[in-house]
Amino acid sequence: MIDALKVWLAGQGLSPEAVSLVFVLVSGAALVLIGVLVNFAVKWTIAGVFHPLIRRTQTTWDDALIERGVLTRLSHLAPALIIHVAGPLVLADYPRAAEAVRTGAYVYMVVAGLFVLSAFMNAALDVYNRFPISHRVPLKIFLQVIKIIVSCLAVVFILASLVGKSPVVFFSGLGAFTAVLILVFKDPILGLVAGIQLISNNMVRRGDWIEMPKYGVDGDVVDVSLTTISVQNWDKTIATVPTYALISDSFKNWRGMSESGGRRIKRAVHIDMNSVRFCDREMLDRFKKIRFIQEYVDRKLDEITAFNTRLGIDDSVLVNGRRLTNLGTFRAYLEAYLRNHEKVRKDMTFLVRHLAPTPEGLPIEIYVFSSDQVWANYEGIQGDIFDHILAVIPLFDLRVFQAPSGADIRALAAAP
């Protein structure tokens, strides 16, 4: 058939060179058409036969092959193989054309194989990420390194095929380009080293809440890759941080809080120090009616009375001996109130303390842990606690310190 075609072309008055050119073009077009038809047939078979079979299986890991298009990309190898085998046979009388077709098919197979391998690794990563261990040991970094290495090898094999040299020649010359390679792949190299340290030291995982004010990061880690770490901030924006920045810079990881079962409440109320004084009989009688501190007031009064009697203290002078103060009683009430609060952890750090006096008053700090770690619930618990604290302060004859506002100044100016 091939000889008949050549004779027919020559019979049309074409020169031998023209016959050769037309034959090469027609053969090339026929090979391309065959490749397209084979590709279509293979894709139809995959979509119509293999994909339905995979979806009907009980396992779920093979669904990742469909989602990542592994089999679809694999279908591109079929036409390349046919052209690679059939091309030299059809163009046996034209060695240069046959070699060009063979080289082109080889390059196409290498590129297609690279895409197939990349899709397969992505599918494997999807399956791996379904397991809890993926949060502790993210493999995406290592898969990306493998992809870079495989891609470099593919480029070397493609160049070697195009220039007709052995790949060994290119590998032997890589030493001279080491500095250039290090410069080009600086970020991946730093990312790989940082990723290994992050994973081996268990410093950060997917799902961790981290803070890095320098980079405007405050949210959950959603992805750990070779060169960047993606964080979804609480305002739903996505921030990316260089992986090596988590090694070179400081960051806060809230995982310890999440795993502890409690979330810290650390806030202070500033008391006007001019309102602090010793308790008189009327105040003590009033405090004894408060459920949380009834026992405390009785016990402290017995203790103080016994102490003052033993030492012969003249209690007609307030400064002599020991006495209850409204501030100390208020602190005892806060501690009792928090210990009876169902949302406050009693087995974790539990403090109601004075801080150093400031020009804004005397801070009384609450340092406890909420048993509910959900942000909205935690804020609600914290708000309820301090709503109650601010409401009961006047019952202890104390005042909250507050800087004068414009209304206060206007009231003073209007006073007679």
pLDDT above 90 covers a percentage of the chain that reads 19
User: pLDDT band at residue 384, thresholds of 50, 70 and 90?
Assistant: very high
pLDDT at 23 over 80: no
Read off the tokens for 252: 């806060």
Read off the tokens for 190: 């730093």
Return d(Cα 245, Cα 188) in angstroms, integer.
Answer: 13
For residue 406, the model assigns a pLDDT of 74
- Sign (positive/negative) of CA torsion 225, 231, 237, 240? negative
Q: What's the whole-number mean pLDDT along residues 53-64?
A: 76
pLDDT at 117 over 80: yes
pLDDT digits (tens, 9 = 90+) for 208-237: 889 998 888 999 998 888 778 889 998 889
Return d(Cα 168, Cα 170) in angstroms, integer.
Answer: 5
- Specify whether domain 263-407 bears CATH 3.30.70.100: yes
More confident residue, 322 or 415: 322
Q: What's the whole-number mean pLDDT along residues 333-344?
A: 93
Amino acid at 334: L
What pTM was estimated for this model as a whole? Answer: 0.59
For residue 231, the model assigns a pLDDT of 92
Q: What are the strands, taking DSSP E only, across 257-373?
A: 263-271, 351-354, 362-370
For residue 9, the model assigns a pLDDT of 54
Q: What's the whole-number mean pLDDT along residues 254-282?
A: 88
Please report, for the chain, the start and end positions of each structural domain, with discontinuous segments joined by +.
2-130, 263-407
Listing DSSP states for 113-170 in one string gives HHHHHHHHHHHHHHHHTTSTHHHHS--HHHHHHHHHHHHHHHHHHHHHHHHT--HHHH
- Residues 293/332, Cβ–Cβ less than 8 Å: yes
Q: What are phi and psi of 52, to 5 degrees?
A: -60, -40
Read off the tokens for 410: 């206007």
pLDDT at 2 over 60: no
Return d(Cα 345, Cα 361) in angstroms, integer.
Answer: 29
pLDDT digits (tens, 9 = 90+) for 349-376: 999 999 999 988 999 999 999 998 888 8
User: pLDDT band at residue 55, thresholds of 50, 70 and 90?
Assistant: confident
pLDDT digits (tens, 9 = 90+) for 396-411: 999 999 887 777 677 7
Q: What's the whole-number mean pLDDT along residues 27-35?
A: 72
For residue 93, the model assigns a pLDDT of 64
Work out the mean pLDDT of the chain and round it to a whole number. 81
Strands 362-370 and 263-271: antiparallel
Read off the tokens for 71: 């089999």
